[in-house]
Amino acid sequence: MSAVRIGPYTLPNRLVLAPMAGVTDLPFRQLCRRLGAGLVVSEMVTSDVRLWNSRKSRLRLPHEGDPEPRSVQIAGGDPQMLAEAARRNVELGAQIIDINMGCPAKKVCNKAAGSALMKDEQLVGAILDAVVKAVEVPVTLKIRTGWDRDNRNGVTVARIAENAGIQALAVHGRTRADLYKGEAEYDTIAEIKQAIGIPVFANGDIDSPRKAADVLAYTGADGLLIGRAAQGRPWIFREIDHYLATGATLPEPALDECEAVLLEHLDALHDFYGDDMGVRIARKHVGWYLAATPGGTAFRSTFNRLDDKDGQHASVRAFFAECRSNLHARDGEGVAA
């Protein structure tokens, strides 16, 4: 497997944590990088610098703590505003600028941003030209396969991107109209890979090592963007990387490691956001971690009523202690039988 390069940066592997609003904050990015992601991308930042004084933007903007190369995603629909946002983010430590033309959310698309931009190929070109010329760092782009199933113009947009100087392209295998429904399709991604010479990252429904290998083989993509499958499973990067390198499947992480990772994540959230906000944000992450764990759903309803970090830590430790006790009891039954 050849290494993937984005400008001057050679990634340690082919796996990228996809930017997700409200999810890929600094604590989660650092955790995913430690557990095997080759690159992590920040949450989407608005291109309207007048809004950067909000608490949400202030938490997303400092980039010095991120693992290098530091990739920051910006969103908007005005070429000059996006260019200015790119410059400002580079001043704040960004080493790669990623442009969002993939988000299907109504609140983004209604502002002529995200995947709505794919309707206007001329505007796409103007935006990409402006941002590439504005900064000396590599600029990357995330798109969907098109606006709807009758208008899959991903290949055309990919060619526009390459001609503008975009240095890597991520493609989600759905149209804007598909949102996240149904199954991702990879034919368009394969066509895009054949049409351009810059690195292409496939995205959409990649939730296991075997699926990762299949998508790479089918599309010919240079790498993979993994988003929702990493929620509550940050070790998925390690599992996929190992499978791609060896063809062997790693065992599921032991209870002790799951507990350690979750407690580490809780600590990082509380430190980053402060006690009040950290406690609230921790609730959704804990729900993701324990979604498939026996007793996890019942525990979540109890956990969500806790309003202090010490209580959250204590309840997680108690939950895993009970899981271990139940596991030992089942093992004992098996021996007795």
Paired tokens of 129: 């030209």
The total of other beta-carbon atoms located within 10 Å of residue 186's CB is 23
For residues 237 and 226, the answer to whether their CB atoms sit within 8 Å is yes
3-state secondary structure of 17: strand
Sequence-distant (≥ 6) Cβ neighbours of residue 162 within 8 angstroms: 169, 196, 197, 198
Residues paired with 172 in a beta bridge:
144, 203
For residues 35 and 245, the answer to whether their CB atoms sit within 8 Å is no
The beta strands (E) that lie in 54-95 are given as 71-75
For residues 304 and 288, the answer to whether their CB atoms sit within 8 Å is no
Paired tokens of 208: 């296991």
The catalytic residue among 103, 109, 258, 323 is: 103
For residues 119 and 126, the answer to whether their CB atoms sit within 8 Å is no
Type of residue numbered 32: C
The beta strands (E) that lie in the chain are given as 5-6, 9-10, 15-17, 39-40, 45-46, 71-75, 96-101, 139-144, 168-172, 200-203, 223-226
- With CA atoms as reference, report the closest residue to 310 among 258, 265, 281, 267: 267
Phi, psi of 81 (to 5 degrees): -65, -40
Dihedral of alpha carbons 100, 106, 109, 111, sign:
negative
Distance CA 234, CA 262 (A): 10
Paired tokens of 270: 């509380």
The yes-or-no answer on residue 103 being catalytic is: yes
Distance CA 326, CA 337 (A): 16
Catalytic residues: 103
